[in-house]
Amino acid sequence: MFIQIEENTYLNTDSIVAVELVTISSEPYGETFQWVFYTTSPTDKSVFYGKVFDNKEDAVSWFENIRYLLEKK
């Protein structure tokens, strides 16, 4: 099953081995967050970045929806 993590970016859910929420910027502009997906791909395309969020709550909510899709599969 594939999930969309960003516009025009889909991941095979069988390949995901880890997910991490990172802070990609902070003061003076405020924090922004992004999910990083690590996969089992043997190539340099083993790390994928999800969309950017202006706050942690939106990022967590988005991932909960993705996680629901994964569990539903």
For the stretch 10-50, pLDDT in tens is 888 888 899 999 998 877 778 899 999 999 988 778 898 88
Instruction: State the DSSP H helix or E strand holding residue 52, giving kind and residue range, or none if neither.
Output: strand 47-53
Secondary-structure breakdown of the chain: helix, strand, coil percentages, each rounded to the nearest 5: 25, 45, 25
Query: Residue 27: which domain range?
Result: 2-72
pLDDT of residue 22: 95
Edge-to-edge strands, sheet with 32-39: 16-25, 32-39, 47-53
What is the count of structural domains for the chain? 1
pLDDT of residue 21: 95
User: What average pLDDT does the structure give for the chain?
Assistant: 85
Distance between CA atoms of residues 40 and 36, nearest Å: 14
